[in-house]
Amino acid sequence: MSPKDDVQFLALLVHRGYLERNHAEKLLPRLKQGDALDPLLTELLGWDGDRVDKLRVTRAGEDPRIPGYDILGRLGVGGTSEVFRARDKKSQGTVALKILNVRSTRQKRALASFVEEVRTLTSLDHPGLCKGHGIKKSGDTYFAVLELIEGRTLLEHIDEEQSFPEDTALRIVLEVADVLAYLDREGFVHRDVKPGNIMLTSSGQVKLIDLGFCAKKGEFNPEGTATGTGEYLAPEQAMGGACADLRSDVYSLGATLFQMTVGRLPFEPGDDEDVLRKHVLEALRSPELKGRGFSHQLHYFIDKMMSKDADHRYQTWEELLDGIRGQLEGKLAADWRGATTPRSNSRRRT
């Protein structure tokens, strides 16, 4: 390896969490003197040769090697893990492998959360959820085997400046709400409903993904902490210390519906504290809902779902599902009646 290659690999080890920056800085003078990196990692850090060789081959985990699987490409990167498309050598089926990154592996809370998420997914069974097939360990690497979902998230569609027609958005909300109702019946609250966690598959299905923040109903956050993504957090969650409550998911789904139809976030992004303050204190202003030909019912749904007061939102998923289904079925009936009403001046086509 050239000195330049060694410096780049050292930077990659830091970036991927295998080395602390202060340790890397101690190695740099020796590299500049012409010493090779791999013996230094063994001499100064106590790494054995096999570990160094594996990190070289996998580019510090960017190109993982997992026994029993052929890695076919990376699908996505999150704060604690990366997801790869893989082929199971035994079954020849294609799956997704969610691999916990090394930093999170060293953090007891992050590791426990990852294990709990996979166990929860494996125990649940709903067509609108990504199916979990268990958690495994290879060396120091923890990974989950998941159903492979071919498609894109709502956020990816929105980022391409694609807003959704009202009826399409409501149908997506219906399907997500049905999944959340199932989670509620099983005793769970999702706590991170947002466009980035809702996928549209290539076959047209809606899938709710990422149960990393999922909690048992009634479970309390520590005082002063907020769980979820700031741009979609209900006021009571934004203030911290709230219990896991389905009405917080109702609020987040309302924010998602707003973004799908209007094409922007309900409250314009700033720093984290500013966004949370707006969710708690500012009224929702939505001139677009009044000026783009949206129905009064859509405005009503969003206002009710995103009420600052949780007691004024939908109190059950069934209540929300019934309201939106009634709106869609009513429009369908009206369209059907309008389409079949004969016109007095119509002509018979031959």
Q: Which residues are catalytic?
A: 192
Distance of CA 239 to the CA centre of its chain: 22
* Main-chain dihedrals φ then ψ at residue 227, nearest 5 degrees: -110, 130
| Residue linked to tokens 């369908």 | 332
Q: Rounded to an integer, what distance in angstroms lies between the CA atom of residue 239 and that of residue 258?
A: 22
Q: How many CA atoms lie within 13 A of 225 on its CB side?
A: 9
Cβ contacts of residue 23 below 8 Å, gap of 6+? Answer: 45
Closest CA to 269 of 261, 278, 282, 260: 278
Distance of CA 329 to the CA centre of its chain: 30
Q: Rounded to an integer, what distance in angstroms lies between the CA atom of residue 235 and that of residue 254?
A: 13
Q: Rounded to an integer, what distance in angstroms lies between the CA atom of residue 212 and that of residue 219?
A: 15
Q: Hey, what's the torsion of the CAs at 267, 306, 128, 148, to 10 degrees?
A: 20
**Pairing label, strands 188-189, 198-201:** unpaired
Structure tokens at 70: 């052929």
* Main-chain dihedrals φ then ψ at residue 338, nearest 5 degrees: -65, -35
Q: Rounded to an integer, what distance in angstroms lies between the CA atom of residue 51 and that of residue 61?
A: 12
DSSP state letter for 266: S
Q: What length does the chain have?
A: 350
Structure tokens at 339: 């389409």
